[in-house]
Structure 1
Amino acid sequence: MKKQDDHLFKIGEIAKILGITRKTILVYEEMGLLTPAIKDKNSGYRYYTADNMTQIRSIRSLQTLGLSLSEIREYYYDSKNLDHHLARLMDLRAALDRNIQLLQVRAAKPGDLSIHRVRLPKQVCYCRRYQCKDIKDAADKLRDTYIAAARTGKMSMSARMFTMRIGQPDTGLDLMCCIPVEDDFAGEERTEFAESPALCVYYRGPYEGIGTAIATLNTYVETNHIQTTGPFRNIYLEGPPSRGEQSSDYITQVAVTI
């Protein structure tokens, strides 16, 4: 069969136009995500329309967001679980927002303690409270809490862990260690945090210097007579797992709800 319609494209043409491989297009077909407009049974030649091209671009966009081909197939054809797919896309958007946020923080000059207005998300966390001797002891306690939360099998893979400073600075290092978990976690360590407006400082540097960011944020709150609704939080965006011993590159979001 010869190509008779100028509105049809061969697989090689589609691959070249979209910058993908023939194999990728064939995989989409095998997954049931794409059907050629014409498939010659004798020669095996495939012909595609502009609509097919748009469909391929859509699939590529969803892959770029982080969806697997199986998830994309469900997204297109599973009309009974739309809430599930919506939640998945919302999680991906949140992850993208966090990555953009980190890039903005890295672009800031070291020592920049500018105040930002943000919204902290609703979260369910596995929480334990400790009286810590010093920063090292606090880090050990946070690690222990992380391990305990991981063993529940309910730990969130996207949200960030944080600590909360309970009481005033002169009462010692009284910390609540909070590890995000799935909403259906039902253990006694469960604490739910509502979505809240907040003020924050993005602090770059070793954990020993976080007190400077807290003091800056506290001064701003007091000077502007702002009513806070909770303790200060240290939200760990990037630290030892991703930055190794380069503590000058650690990024901590110091926040307080208002």
Structure 2
Amino acid sequence: MVSGPTVEGPCSPSETSPGLVGYRWMLRHYDNIGLLRPVAVDARSGYRYYTADQLRRLNRVIALKDLGLTLAQVQLVLDDVLDAAELRGLLRLRRAQLEAQLAADTTRLTRIEARLRAIDREGRMTTQDVVLKELPSLRVAELTAMAASYETADIGRAIRPLYPELLRRLAVAEVSLSGPSLAYYEPAGDGEKIVVHAGLEVAVSPDRARDFAVVDLPAVPAAATVIHRGPMDEVAGTLQLLAQWIEENGWRAEGYARELYVEYCADDPAAGVTELQQPVTRA
């Protein structure tokens, strides 16, 4: 022990000094939770006194907190409650947390840079926001048709008759809907032709006796999604925006975008609201 105890803070600042007030609050909190108790407390002033060894412990507290450990974890380390294996595990967990945080911040930085490029290119920030999210698995009743290509006009001609027919068949089978309609696509393996799937979410099991298919669409770990408002005949611009976002944010499109018809208005296509969902992987 040194010749005398050390006071909790310097005497020169006033008691209302923000730095000193914060310092005293910290030491008071450490005292309350048993992390660092003073050797003495002045009954009149409330000052706490510490030995040099205790200040070394305080420095260790500050250093461990700087690693991002909680005070409870710091106390376990300082009190030698953890053995070497447990200490390694604690620090590896903290490392994993920091790596995840760094990855998330790096992704945000990439998005900010993409927005800055868009502003430089267009003079403004787009009002259409692309959101990256997971897509749940879905069970849908569906009918399919062949489209000559992935061009909007060819897709429209192929898919429009499918929904009223599918609704008719579901009604005959007394199958109720459990969600909105959607469409998805896959190559036909014959030039530019595309297999068009018109689906309606249901909660029934597949049955070969029915005149429509019931299929389970798998969950998608990552999809870039954007809302398109208006008729699907005018979707090309929104698809282009989606493709641009995917490229500028370090992703790669996988297959074709799903179309989830949030609001389907057959009589007024301009009032339609569609979420485009493009599965993606890291480029």
| TM-score normalised by length of structure 2 | 0.44
| TM-score normalised by length of structure 1 | 0.47
Higher radius of gyration, 1 or 2: 2
